[in-house]
Amino acid sequence: MAIASNEGRCTQCHIGYNWKSDTAESFFDDTANIDCFICHDTTGTYKKHASANGGGGPAALMIDGELTVVEPAALTDIAFNVGTPSRTNCLACHASAGGGDNVKHGDLSTDLIAPTEDMDVHMGGLNYACQECHTEAGHKIAGATMLHSNEGAVTCVDCHSATRTHTENGLVASLLNLHTDRVACQTCHIPTFSRTQATTMEWYWDEAGDDDAANPLQFGKGTYSKKKGRFVWGMDVTPTYLWYNGMWEHKIVNVADTYVEAGTVADPVVIAAPTATIADDDAKIYPFKKLIGRQPADLTNKRLLVPHLFGTGPGPDPYWISFDWGLAVAEGAAFAGQPYSGDWAADGGFANTVNYLAINHEIAPKANALACEDCHGNAAFWTQVGMDDPFGS
Amino acid sequence: MSTRLLLLVLASGLAVALTGTLGGCPAIPCDPNTCPDPNCPDPNCPDCNEPDPNAVAKTLHQRIFEDVLGKTAYEGTADSCLICHSDHARDILESAHWKWQGPVTNIAGLEGEIHGKRDLINNL
């Protein structure tokens, strides 16, 4: 799934106004398009409408319980009270990636707006704003994505010692410090993720479109939507452990959107994953969320296709109006410039996919860190990381 | 003490004596019970002659909008924010949060190419 053809909806979380499917490149050169309030509102009342006016995130307020697009004058109280961003500002977008609270990342939900120390020691215990770690300079904000770290990366050793990592209780500290060359801080200090609110673990787009499907709740969240398909949620999830050195592979439209895997459940298409192996000296074991699913593809030519879901700019049949994958995928792929016959019956279908997402938040108090026996003696862990347990059977 | 300095001290002392103020407010911290200046520029010193018990202090940006820019309402990014913050706006145009893409550093073989949120594919 990709932004192309769906700009009007996805850009509800852009720091500008009116980025739609037909928006020209010159949009990005005009400071008048910037939305200052999405980060600098301190009243907590500022909203952006997802779909009014064709999308593109016009400013909105809740008026009599309805999300309503408003003129600038209605934002005067917000303008009078602008200030430094708080967790509320950042999480409004970063916790709702994937279209809902904690859907995508697994370690970022709006529960972190007012967390306890158990939920996250930095945001809860110390009440750190995001920018304490994600430092800002000239409106560039540190934090690597899977693709780029040109605005700086954030690592634990920005503040915590890399050399005298564990210092209390001499013998235990010595044993712990034997691990730090090859085990990342996050592995032991984020023992599980989504501890207070469930995250999406499986997303089956192919099951969308049913008016009559049941929607049983799992961890209090709906498992079926006609627009999106079927979800499986996870809570208090044990991470998948992978070797990681900062390098990724990632599917990118027209650059890397074909696949060699079978696209079955047993051999899913890899959407994104770390590329390091145990043989890389600079790699450590890190925790990841593993998100699997099924999404549209050209099964004949083994290419993931971009579906048109929202808005009628790129065509009259986005999935969320037509509920016809054939039409929606033809429009999306054409808009994105992907080579595709347009013949859904002959070439279209759904590929099984797997996507690994880094886990860096929900850092637990050190008393709750992984203990020796969480890994040593746990055969599943050693199978995952591809080595023998030095203390195992 | 030089003659010129002595004259300056005497002159300022005279000014204080005549007006009861130095630069508009008393040189000592403004005490609303004794401040004789109704136009004291210290925003924390309320109008001493007629203190309003219901008055809410204006925020910094409200004072800027109303007292500096002469505006009673917000008029949009260009006509309100950018009057003072155009430097930040130019910085924003170069940022990843604005562009939703940037020079790749973390994918082997694509280093330096411009990609990002705008053109990646995921399963969400």
Q: What is the pLDDT of residue B8?
A: 55
DSSP states of A247-289: -EEE-BTTTB-B--S--SSSS-EEEEEE---TT-TT-EEEEEE
Q: Which 104-163 residues of chain A touch chain B by CB within 8 A? A: 104, 138-141, 144-151
What's the token pair of residue B99? 């562009």
| Closest alpha carbon to A187 in A363, A367, A391, A389 | A363
Q: What is the pLDDT of residue A116?
A: 98
Q: How far is B70 from chain A (nearest CA, A)?
A: 13
The residue count of chain B comes to 124
> CB contact, 8 Å: A71 with chain B?
no
Q: What is the pLDDT of residue A391?
A: 79
Walk along chain B (124 residues) in steps of 10 and give the mean pLDDT of each run. Answer: 60 48 41 58 50 75 93 95 95 97 96 96 96
| Of the partner residues B72, B85, B115, the one whose CB lies closest to the CB of residue A252 | B115
CB contact under 8 A, B77 and A31: yes
Q: How far is A169 from chain B (nearest CA, A)?
A: 38
Q: Which residues contact B19 (CB under 8 A, 6 or more apart)?
A: none
Q: How far apart are CA A77 and CA A45, in angstroms?
A: 10
Contacts of B86 in chain A (CB under 8 A): 31
Q: Which 61-100 residues of chain B touch chain A by CB within 8 A? A: 61-62, 65, 72-78, 80-82, 85-86, 88-100
CB contact under 8 A, A104 and B124: yes
In chain A, which residues have pLDDT < 50? none
Q: How far apart are CA A136 and CA A73, in angstroms?
A: 30
Q: What is the pLDDT of residue B49?
A: 46
Which of B90, B104, B123 would you mutate first to test chain A, the one with the most A CBs within 10 A?
A: B123
> CB contact, 8 Å: B117 with chain A?
yes
Task: Name the pTM for this structure.
Answer: 0.88
Q: How far apart are CA A373 and CA A390, in angstroms?
A: 12
CB contact under 8 A, A2 and B122: yes
> CB contact, 8 Å: A1 with chain B?
yes
| Of the partner residues B61, B88, B117, the one whose CB lies closest to the CB of residue A79 | B61
Which of A30, A140, A148 would you mutate first to test chain B, the one with the most B CBs within 10 A?
A: A148
Question: What is the four-CA torsion angle of A120, A122, A124, A128, rounded to 10 degrees?
Answer: -140
The answer to ipTM > 0.90 is: yes
Contacts of A90 in chain B (CB under 8 A): none
Q: What is the pLDDT of residue B114?
A: 97
Q: What is the pLDDT of residue B23?
A: 37
What's the token pair of residue A170? 């001499």
> CB contact, 8 Å: A76 with chain B?
yes
